[in-house]
Each structure stands twice: as structure tokens, then as C-alpha cells.
């Protein structure tokens, strides 16, 4: 804080490190959207897995079955990635709230030491 003989001007105006902030409700909404993607992709993987290769000649049916298997696995893997992302975001919210609560509790405990008592 800068002071002169007459007033206090506040913190220095030198550039500081970027501030990082998290809005738990925004992260919560985003995690629900990742969950929705997981549900939709899981459903798509199931639909691809149930697709029929009937009507193809044997060589084409074999290729179509391989294609369906590959796309089922690929879609299921993307769905799992969405679920992992949603879980990680929820864990971040929980961690942030736990740390914030701990910080607040420590701050209240120290309040008597940082305020001037007269």
C-alpha cells in the first residue's frame, strides 16, 4: 500500500500474476453437460452394436461387422472419456469447496490475531 503524508492510495499499480478463479456452479453445469454427452454416446454405441449386417453378401457382412465393432468400441471409448471428464470436474468442485471451507475456518481462527483489540 502506498502512503504519503496525506492519504493512502491502495495497492501498487505494478502488473501482477494472473488471478485464477473458479465458479463452482459453472463447473457443475459443465460437468452435467459432459454427463449428458456420456449418456448420448453410450446410447449411440448400443445402437451401433445392435445394427444388423443382414442383407450383405458374406464377404461384405464380415467387413460390415468389423466396421460396426470398431465404431462401437470407438463410441464407447469417447463416452467413457466424457464420464471421466465429468467426474474430474465434480472432484475439482469438491476439492475447491473443501479447501475453501478449510481456508475460511483457519481465517476465522486467526481473526483474533489480525485485528487490533483496544
Give 35-68 pLDDT, tens digit per residue: 999 999 999 999 999 999 999 999 999 999 999 9
- Residue labelled with grid coordinates 460396426: 68
Question: What one-character-per-residue DSSP string does 14-65 give?
Answer: S--PPP----HHHHHHHHHHHHHHHHHHHHHHHHHHH---TTS-HHHHHHHH
pTM, to two decimals: 0.67
3-class SS at 4?
Answer: coil
48 Cβ contact list (under 8 Å, min separation 6): 68, 71, 72, 75
Q: Tell me the pLDDT tens digit for each residue of 62-103.
A: 999 999 999 999 999 999 999 999 999 999 888 888 887 777
Domain boundaries, the chain: 28-48+58-118
**DSSP conformational letter for 10:** E
The phi, psi pair for 54, rounded to 5°, reads -65, 145
Amino acid at each position: 500500500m502506498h502512503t504519503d503524508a496525506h492519504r493512502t492510495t491502495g495497492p501498487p499499480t505494478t502488473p501482477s500474476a494472473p488471478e485464477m478463479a473458479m465458479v463452482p456452479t459453472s463447473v457443475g453445469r459443465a460437468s452435467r453437460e459432459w454427463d449428458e454427452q456420456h449418456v448420448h454416446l453410450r446410447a449411440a454405441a448400443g445402437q451401433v452394436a445392435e445394427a444388423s449386417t443382414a442383407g450383405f453378401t458374406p464377404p461384405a457382412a464380415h467387413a460390415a461387422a468389423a466396421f460396426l465393432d470398431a465404431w462401437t468400441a470407438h463410441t464407447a471409448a469417447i463416452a467413457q472419456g466424457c464420464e471421466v471428464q465429468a467426474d474430474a470436474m465434480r472432484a475439482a468442485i469438491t476439492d475447491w469447496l473443501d479447501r475453501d471451507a478449510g481456508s475460511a475456518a483457519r481465517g476465522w481462527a486467526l481473526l483474533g490475531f489480525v485485528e487490533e483489540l483496544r
